[in-house]
Structure formats: C-alpha cells, structure tokens
Amino acid sequence: MSKHYIDNDRFEDLIRSFLVGDSSVEVELFGMFKLLIENVMGTFGFDVDREDAAQDCFVLILKVMPNFNPDNGSAFNFFTTVIVNNLKLIYTKNKKYAEKLKAYEDLVASRRPPQ
C-alpha cells in the first residue's frame, strides 16, 4: 500500500495510458485527480470558489500532463504541486481584485460631498 491516499504506481500507469490515447482509464484517472484536488483544497483551506477552482485545476492538469516525467519525481507530488500553485494563484488574484474594489469604493466614498 502506498503512503499516500492515491496509489502512485497506479496513478502513473493511468497517466501513461491516458497520454497514449487509452480513453478507458479516463474515469478512474479523473476520479483520482478529483480526490487530489478536493484534498488539497481541504488541507490548505484556500478561500476560493471550490467549483471554479476545481475546474481551473482540471484544465491546468490536462495542459501540463504531457510534461509529467516520472524520472523527476512521483505523479502524486508533481500534480499536488501543480494544484497547490494554481490555487495560490487563484487566491492571490481574487484577493488583489477584492482589494482594488475596496480601494475604489473608498475613493468614491471620499469624493461624496458631506451631508
């Protein structure tokens, strides 16, 4: 049994199969990705819209999957890092946007004539 909640050997086998066009592994593979995304979001507690963030993570996973090389580390670690970094980006982007909105509201409020 793997030390992770996802069996990395099976995970890597599914990735290899998917990358060569075997669509029969799609449901199992994306179930593992879903589990990984949900656990990362739960562990790190990012204040993001969970559905939108998960969808963004899936899109990124599809984009970077061909870059995965098992000689450079495990699939579990590679994709966990991809997901964490993407969630950090989403969180930071949302936070900066909220700060800009607040600054704009404050500016508008400061320009109102006193009543």
pLDDT digits (tens, 9 = 90+) for 31-44: 999 999 999 998 98
Mean pLDDT of 62-88: 96
**Helices and strands: H and E segment counts in the chain:** 4, 0
DSSP states along 61-104: HHHHGGG--GGGS-HHHHHHHHHHHHHHHHHHHHHHHHHHHHHH
Structure tokens at 22: 């075997």
What distance in Å separates the CA atoms of residue 75 and residue 89, rounded to the nearest whole number?
21
Rounded Cα distance between 66 and 100, Å, is 37
For 93-112, how does the pLDDT look when each residue is reduced to its tens digit (9 = 90+)?
888 888 899 999 988 888 88
Contact 58, 37 (CB under 8 A): yes
Q: Please give the Cα distance from 46 to 37 (Å, whole number).
A: 12
DSSP 3-state helix, strand, coil percentages of the chain (rounded to 5)?
A: 80, 0, 20
pTM over 0.85: no
Calculate the CA dihedral of residues 77, 81, 83, 87 and round it to 10 degrees.
150
List the domains of the chain with CATH numbers: 8-111 (1.10.1740)
Over residues 44-73, the pLDDT tens digits come to 888 888 999 999 999 999 999 999 999 999
Provide mean pLDDT across the span 14-31.
96
What pLDDT, on the 0 to 100 scale, is given for residue 4? 59
